[in-house]
Amino acid sequence: MKIVFMGTPDFAVPSLNALLISKKDVAAVITQPDKPSGRGKKLTPPPVKTVVLNSGIRVLQPERIKDEAFVNTIKEINPDIIVVAAYGKILPKDIIRLPKYGCINVHASLLPKYRGAAPINWAIINSEKETGITIMQMDEGLDTGGILLQKGIEITKEDTAGTLTEKLSGLGAGLLIEALNAIEKGEIKAAEQDNSKASYAPMLKKDDGQIDWTKGAKDIYNMVRGMDPWPGAFTYCKGELWKVWRVRHVDARKGHSGEILAADKDRIDVASKDGVISIIEIQPANKKRMTVSEFLRGNKIEKGIILGS
């Protein structure tokens, strides 16, 4: 079975590695173009590209996936199947319909829940207790294709989008190999999704990370975890940007939403609509990420300050 793999970020790396370790015939890897990164804005390859740089496997990085020249290149490769894992662009129908076995996607949710670009983040933000991996047969809709395999995983109270991504990427790699083996043997058939149960996980923007202190403490706690590592939760203290990396949901002392109730030792207590959020890891503007105890050694924070503006 000749495979073309399409993926870009760290989430896709275990799936690609699983293909290589299992000696699958990976004819080409398609990933997004190198992008400027860091203070020097040096062109940096996507994580998927680094996996195969010295492997001899052909790497393609089209600017536009719908370009006729690129589509023709895929036709020339003539894959039996295309495997997609967080590639980052919507495939045109000319590519979806090309391979013998079509295109399959490693999606980080239990479809039909959380279709879209940020399923891991939104599952945490929305206080889900479980998520998982779906291996799906792709069609022209947004994650609407038939389900080949699914496996669930618990979301713990300590999980962030970062830790959950790592867990799910490993789970997806194993499930992908299982699906490919079953497809090759003709032992699997896609099951239609129940569209009435569908929900969506739209792409996050930087502004989505701003903490709304008028919300409940549980909602804020989940939002901070769901925004870690990107775009990162943040608030403002007297106009200064604070990135908020780790919090605890504590007791229900009263105060105005966003009001600092205490700032001592290892935490800054802030009132929400129905409880208190303790900030325990912070990153002031133009500073490194640090514990609140480290931050308070060089900064005095008064009670009564209202965060958020």
At residue 252, the pLDDT reads 73
Written in H, E and C, the secondary structure of 7-37 is: ECCHHHHHHHHHHHHCCCEEEEEECCCCEEE
Question: Distance between terminal CA atoms of the chain?
Answer: 57
- Our measurement of the distance from residue 42's CA atom to the centroid of its chain's CA atoms, rounded to an integer in Å, reads 24
At residue 67, the pLDDT reads 94
- What proportions of the chain, in percent to the nearest 5, are helix, strand and coil? 30, 30, 45
Q: Are 244 and 211 in contact (CB under 8 A)?
A: yes
Is the same domain home to 71 and 191? Answer: yes
Facing residues of 37 across strands? 42
302-to-45, 263, 268, 279, 290 alpha-carbon distances in Å: 45, 7, 10, 15, 19
Q: Total structural domains in the chain?
A: 2
Residue-wise pLDDT tens digits, 99-122: 999 999 999 999 999 999 999 999
Separation of alpha carbons 99 and 178, rounded Å: 19
Is the same domain home to 54 and 101? Answer: yes
Mean per-residue pLDDT, 269-278: 94
Is the same domain home to 156 and 290? Answer: no
DSSP 109: S
Is the same domain home to 175 and 248? Answer: no
pLDDT at 284 over 90: yes
At residue 239, the pLDDT reads 95
What is the domain-level CATH number for residue 23?
3.40.50.170
Q: Which domain holds residue 275?
A: 206-298
Say what the pTM is.
Answer: 0.96
Counting residues of the chain whose pLDDT is more than 70, the rounded percentage is: 100
At residue 132, the pLDDT reads 98
The closest alpha carbon to 172, from 130, 229, 110, belongs to: 110
SS3 120: helix
Counting residues of the chain whose pLDDT is more than 90, the rounded percentage is: 94
Averaged confidence pLDDT in the chain: 96
The closest alpha carbon to 169, from 23, 5, 10, 3, belongs to: 10
pLDDT at 40 over 90: no
What is the domain-level CATH number for residue 249?
3.10.25.10
Is the same domain home to 244 and 218? Answer: yes
Q: Quickly state the pLDDT bin for 54 (edges 50, 70, 90).
A: confident
Is the same domain home to 236 and 121? Answer: no
pLDDT at 254 over 90: no
The closest alpha carbon to 125, from 194, 12, 212, 195, belongs to: 212
Mean per-residue pLDDT, 68-87: 97
Among residues 160, 176, 197, the one where a domain terminates is 197
Is the same domain home to 133 and 218? Answer: no
Is the same domain home to 54 and 185? Answer: yes
At residue 199, the pLDDT reads 98
At residue 251, the pLDDT reads 74
Facing residues of 243 across strands? 234, 283
Among residues 197, 226, 243, the one where a domain terminates is 197
- The angle, 0 to 180 degrees and rounded to 10, between the axes of the packed helices 161-185 and 13-21 is 40
